[in-house]
Amino acid sequence: MASFVGCADIHVTHATENSADCQPGSLFAAIAGTQTDGIEFVGEALQHGATGLLVARPLAGVSVPQCIVGDIRSAYSTLCHALYGHPSCRLKVCGVTGTNGKTTVTWLLRSILTVASKRAGLLGTIEYFDGVSKRDASLTTPDSRTLSQWLQSMVRRGCSHAAMELSSHALDQGRATGIRLDAAIVTNVTQDHFDYHGDFETYQKAKANIFQQCRPGGFVAINADDAGSAALHGSVPEGLSLRTFGIDGDADVRASIVDQSRLGTRFLVELNGESIDFETPLVGKHNVSNCLAAISVASHWGLATDAIVDGIAALNAVPGRLERIDCGQSFDVFVDYAHTDDALKRCVSHLRQLATGRVICVFGAGGDRDKLKRPMLGKAAADADVVVVTSDNPRSEEPNKIIRDILIGFDASKAGPHVEADRSAAIRWAIDQAEPNDCVLIAGKGHETVQIIGDERHPFDDRQVARDALNDRVTLEQRRIGA
């Protein structure tokens, strides 16, 4: 329910939570953030010409109409989507949430839709794409106005479908309220973002909010192999169609892995009473699970089986997701975004199955983020044969303090990991140690192209650092042979 102060008919053409963006016709949403309260910027919003205010409590001494609401974030999001013409109602939108796998699933869906001759938009951690143009993403799920703008652009560009990542932060903050999902996917729910959510139960509840975004009669796909996801079954509202997917046990859409190598995976899927053969260039059991999520929704959308099979095969790689770096070396190098203990453990385990030599793992932990998972990351990485602990994005924290937190997770009775706070030097050290048939995993930053140290963003790309190190190693070896 909303109440009004100073109510008069006003014509709102624009809504924003940024006071500097206000102009005549703007409604300013005074949203309270973690650092500042939007009410502090009401004066600036009015100076820029704001026509009205969306506030959590009435403000004295304000000459423009005020709309007072209990949940200002959700109200603002709903308003944004209305101002942009409710674009999600003109698209078939699949929202994907989960601790890991969101990006890969959305890219797989886009690949399937493209093969099926459907124009599809995408919103996620790596990029925003409206079917024609794209830009690098700033957040996994952008703010409500940006989200509305991109969905509207998808409609204008002729998209029929969209795949979007929904982070737990976005779901908790109501950034996507007002969006109508045709389908929702939960990939997995394991520990992450406790610095924000506080505990696992609260984190799970935030993920379950995705079901409230679904249209009546919408579709939900949940990972049957993941306990954290399976626990959300009871949160699915009546009237939604629920399907499970999995590899290890009973599931509505089930796969069995036939063959896997460092170059890809072949698996059979039991779908609608048929056994269908799939091949993907993606490696690892977790990527078969990601494929199943995309296959479940594609089947719900009625896409042809041939298009689903070919769409899975067509996606050669997802940037920074077990992305193979090949400079002609005699060992493998993979870069992955794994920054949770579950994702890191799975990556190490999958690569151990593929490598005939050692697994060498380079990783760190982000500063100003969930400190509880740091020793858990150390424990997960300890399964590798050689471990290198380094910096990730230290932000305002001292890198060696973060490293010490990680080291708590290692077994003190065993040989400790190699420690090198300089990430570039750590990657180079790991590559220098590699022998034929070894596998080097560089984890944590994936597709990222900067490293955040203090308040500064320094150009840094794990993939390019790895390529440089590999090329330098080849050059050095050639010189030795020539000598």
Which residues are 243's β-sheet partners? 221
Kindly report, residue by residue over 40-56, the tens digit of the pLDDT.
999 999 999 999 999 99
Instruction: Outline which parts of the chain fall under CATH 3.90.190.20.
Output: 323-482
Q: CATH for 86-314, among 3.40.190.10, 3.40.1190.10, 3.30.365.10, 3.40.50.2000?
A: 3.40.1190.10
Question: What is the C-alpha to C-alpha distance for residues 62 and 53, in angstroms, rounded to an integer?
Answer: 9
Instruction: Outline which parts of the chain fall under CATH 3.40.1190.10.
Output: 86-314
Query: Positive or negative, the Cα torsion across 312, 109, 218, 160?
Result: negative
All residue ranges of the chain with pLDDT < 70 are 1, 7-8, 482-483
- As assigned by CATH, the class of the 323-482 domain is alpha beta
**pLDDT of res. 482:** 64
Question: What is the C-alpha to C-alpha distance for residues 210 and 187, in angstroms, rounded to an integer?
Answer: 12
Query: Positive or negative, the Cα torsion across 73, 76, 78, 81?
Result: negative
CB contact burial 206-232 (16+ within 10 A = b; e otherwise)? bbbbbbebbbeebbbbbbbbbebbbeb
CB contact burial 93-116 (16+ within 10 A = b; e otherwise)? bbbbbbbbbbbbbbbbbbbbbbbb
Residue for token digits 């190490």? 348
What is the dotted CATH code of the domain comprising 2-70?
3.40.1390.10
Q: How far is CA 463 from the centre of its chain?
A: 19
Kindly report, residue by residue over 219-243, the tens digit of the pLDDT.
999 999 999 999 999 999 999 999 9
CA proximity to 453, closest of 341, 337, 336, 368? 368
Query: Positive or negative, the Cα torsion across 351, 352, 354, 359?
Result: positive
Question: What is the C-alpha to C-alpha distance for residues 367 and 243, in angstroms, rounded to an integer?
Answer: 38
Ramachandran region, residue 34 (left: φ > 0; alpha: ψ -120 to 50; beta: rest): alpha
Contact 89, 214 (CB under 8 A): no
* C-alpha distance from residue 204 to each of 41, 186, 197, 233, 481 (Å): 33, 11, 9, 12, 57
DSSP category for residue 66: E
Question: What is the C-alpha to C-alpha distance for residues 105 and 102, in angstroms, rounded to an integer?
Answer: 5
Q: How far is CA 83 from the centre of its chain?
A: 27
**pLDDT of res. 45:** 98
**pLDDT of res. 415:** 83
Kindly report, residue by residue over 258-307, the tens digit of the pLDDT.
999 999 999 999 988 899 999 999 999 999 999 999 999 999 999 999 99
Question: What is the C-alpha to C-alpha distance for residues 369 and 111, in angstroms, rounded to an integer?
Answer: 33
Question: What is the C-alpha to C-alpha distance for residues 32 and 223, in angstroms, rounded to an integer?
Answer: 35
